[in-house]
Amino acid sequence: MNYSRRMGAKWVLDVSHLNVNWNKPYLTEAPFLIVVMKQIFQETESGDKQPTYYNEISTCIAVGILLAAIQNCGLVTVTTTPLNSGTQIREVLQRPVNEKVVLLLPVGYPAINACVPDLKRKALEDIIQLY
């Protein structure tokens, strides 16, 4: 996967501390892989395409609730974007063209040697403005 060409040199530099690369064993080693899709349009009885409004925000809200439920059950996951693999995933799963892959969620129990990066978050003052 050529991240430099596809994502740009700045992106590659910005995420270099995250060790981003093509190797993603968590996708193949997890006992479950949830493929989150959004419906971008519906087909009417006459064959016309009717847009599905608010599909992105509705899907994201549902995923947020799902993530909380997964954690509440003692399971773990990581949100993963399929980059340019969405069409292939949709086709393998034999899903209709009006559905688009949004996220992949590998789900399972944490590995014994699981290592979570110690990422530094921005201070609340930097991201919240009270009125």
pLDDT per residue rounded down to tens, the chain (131 residues)? 566 777 788 888 888 877 777 788 889 999 999 999 999 999 889 989 999 999 999 999 999 999 999 999 999 999 998 878 899 999 999 999 999 999 999 999 998 888 877 778 899 999 999 89
Full-model pTM: 0.80
Q: What is the pLDDT of residue 1?
A: 53
Helix (H, G, I), strand (E, B) or coil at 89: helix
Q: What is the pLDDT of residue 3?
A: 65
Task: With beta carbons less than 8 A apart as the criterion, state whether 40 and 97 touch.
Answer: no
Residue type, 72: N
Task: With beta carbons less than 8 A apart as the criterion, state whether 105 and 79 touch.
Answer: yes
Max Cα-Cα span within the chain: 55
Record: fold of 24-109: NADH Oxidase (3.40.109)
Domain residue ranges of the chain, discontinuous segments joined by +: 24-109
